[in-house]
Amino acid sequence: MSTDKVSVHGSWASRWVFILAATGSAVGLGSIWKFPYMVGVYGGGAFVLMFLACIALIGVPVMLAETLIGRRARQSPANALKVLALEAGHSGKWSWGAFAGMVTALLILSFYSVVGGWSLDYIIDMGRGDFQGVTPDQVGAYFGNVIADPWRLTLWHTIFMLLSAVVIAKGVVAGLERSLRIMMPLLFVMILVLLGYSMTTGHFMEGVHFMFDFHPEKVLDGLLPAMGHAFFSLSVGVGSIMIYGAYMPKNSSISGTIVGVALLDTFVSLVAGLALFPIVFAAGLNPSEGPGLMFVSLPFAFGNVAFGQLMGVVFFVLVAIAAWSSAISLLEPMVAYLVERTKVSRAWVTFWLAFTCWFVGLGTVFSFNIWKEAKFFVNEGGLFHLYQWGAAGGLDFFGVIDFFTSRIMLPLGGLCFVVFAGWVMGREAVRDELSIRSPVLFALSLFLMRYVAPIGILVVFAAQLWK
Ligand code: PFF
């Protein structure tokens, strides 16, 4: 029986450690950096509502599917799909879907590490007191200077990548638990402290309205980005949660655990948004400013309150740790796969993969400075150019990778996993692995995986085409 399988990469000591690791993977730059700026760009309430709906109806079922596939097969995503498909009498080619997911994870890591590097940079800047008493204009200019310097970005990108690779090389199971046990709760506390601060700015309700007032005309614009971000935020669609599921102890309940992780992640995103926007409004910043939003608004706040310098350092240390624990989960699926498939040691595999991601990440580094004018997919008055230097529209290199991964590959990966768990694995295998006692809850889980999530993904894609 497949339930007796053991992972060669080790396993978590308990269900609690899985929760810690999965939360560490889910909570990261996606909640603290990306969610607020996307809410800003896509106009507030409609985006938030779509995001929440996508988390509940699509993200959670996909997460459930990934975890149960991983735990049943106890191998890297590509091998897991292959083994389980063959066991169920289907084609081993299902593994290609998971393989595409693992490559997507590496592409995400390439830019994730660059932004993780910004947080490292800001720890030092905060500690030096660079933001003491700054005006909003000065913080904006400061961030502009940071990203205009390719050497500076490359340095921190390199350090961030190295820090992630070290843990992976040693083996995730050994390295993660110790670091996350204290840091994750601290991060929650720190974000709540920030929320407390934003309530004193006099602009709190403005922030609440911005995040929750619903404007139906904005729904279609934000739908695909919201779905993509739901995947990104929960770390699903690429095999990260699947590989963590593969290290999950046998007798722990999957559904309750997954819902808990999803709730924590969503909670952090919402609180981060509620903490940030009042500061943005108080400082007179532009909410649709894009990727710089957090790196401009928060230093302004820290620079202008008592003990802000210390709090700022602590905050950026925690953000860096949250980013680092997510980065690890992006690298682990492919590392596990190559360790299973080749005779090469974990350390070497990690080194080469991290190096490759680092190299691709240079494209993101340069998007903010020397390649700023390099634009892809430019639509100029109905005329389409694949590439054009200096065009007004189009996407830069970072934009292309972000678009391709979040909007296309993550949802497709999620579709593959959820259809696999719902239709390919077989009802009994799923029932056995989920071990839900209540028949109603089991039926609901299966219904979500079989119908709601796949149809939901297809509907969002279709709405985008029809728009
Ligand atoms: N969920 C992480 C975040 O929100 O920062 C990012 C991420 C990790 C995305 C792992 C995808 C993934 F597989």
Using one digit for the tens of pLDDT, what is the confidence trace for 60-69? 999 999 999 9
| Sole residue written with tokens 């809850």 | 441
The CA radius of gyration of the chain, in Å to the nearest whole number, is 21
- Residue 260: pLDDT band by 50, 70, 90 thresholds? very high
Helix (H, G, I), strand (E, B) or coil at 136: helix
Distance (angstroms) between ligand 1 centre and the Cα of 25 equals 6
What pLDDT is recorded for position 204?
95
Residue 3 pLDDT greater than 60, yes or no: no
> Is the four-CA dihedral 233, 236, 238, 240 of positive or negative sign?
positive
At residue 180, φ and ψ (nearest 5 deg) are -80, -25
What CATH number has the domain bearing residue 398?
Answer: 1.20.1740
Q: Residue whose CA is closest, atom 7 of ligand 1?
A: 235
Residue 19 lies in a domain: yes
Mean pLDDT of the chain: 93
Residue 2 pLDDT greater than 60, yes or no: no
| Total residue length of the chain | 467
Whether the Cβ atoms of residue 198 and residue 279 lie closer than 8 Å to each other: yes
Residue 278 lies in a domain: yes
What pLDDT is recorded for position 89?
95
| C-beta 233 within 6 A of ligand 1 | yes
Higher-pLDDT residue of 30, 43: 30
Distance (angstroms) between ligand 1 centre and the Cα of 24 equals 9
| Sole residue written with tokens 């502009």 | 144
Residue-wise pLDDT tens digits, 172-212:
777 777 777 778 888 889 889 989 989 998 999 999 999 99
**Nearest-CA neighbor of 27 among 234, 327, 181, 332?**
234
Any residues with CB less than 8 A from the CB of 237 and at least 6 apart, and which? 62, 101, 104, 231, 409, 410, 411, 412, 413, 414, 417
Residue 1 lies in a domain: no
Using alpha carbons, list the distances in angstroms from residue 380 to 41, 55, 367, 392, 466. Answer: 22, 35, 21, 9, 21
| Beta-carbon count within 10 A of 441 CB | 13
What pLDDT is recorded for position 328?
94
User: What is the 3-class SS of 153-191, one letter each residue?
Assistant: HHHHHHHHHHHHHHHHHHCHHHHHHHHHHHHHHHHHHHH
| C-beta 243 within 6 A of ligand 1 | no
Residue 66 lies in a domain: yes
Count of structural domains within the chain:
1
Residue 277 lies in a domain: yes
Residue 4 lies in a domain: no
Residue 6 lies in a domain: no
Q: Mutation test of ligand 1: which of 107, 235, 244, 319 has the most ligand atoms closer than 8 Å to its C-beta? A: 235
CA distance 362 to 111: 8
Q: Residue whose CA is closest, atom 2 of ligand 1?
A: 26
- Domain containing 409 equals 15-465
Tokens of 223: 């739908």
Whether the Cβ atoms of residue 361 and residue 114 lie closer than 8 Å to each other: yes
- Residue 1: pLDDT band by 50, 70, 90 thresholds? very low
Confidence (pTM): 0.96
- Residue 34: pLDDT band by 50, 70, 90 thresholds? very high
Residue type, position 184, single letter: M
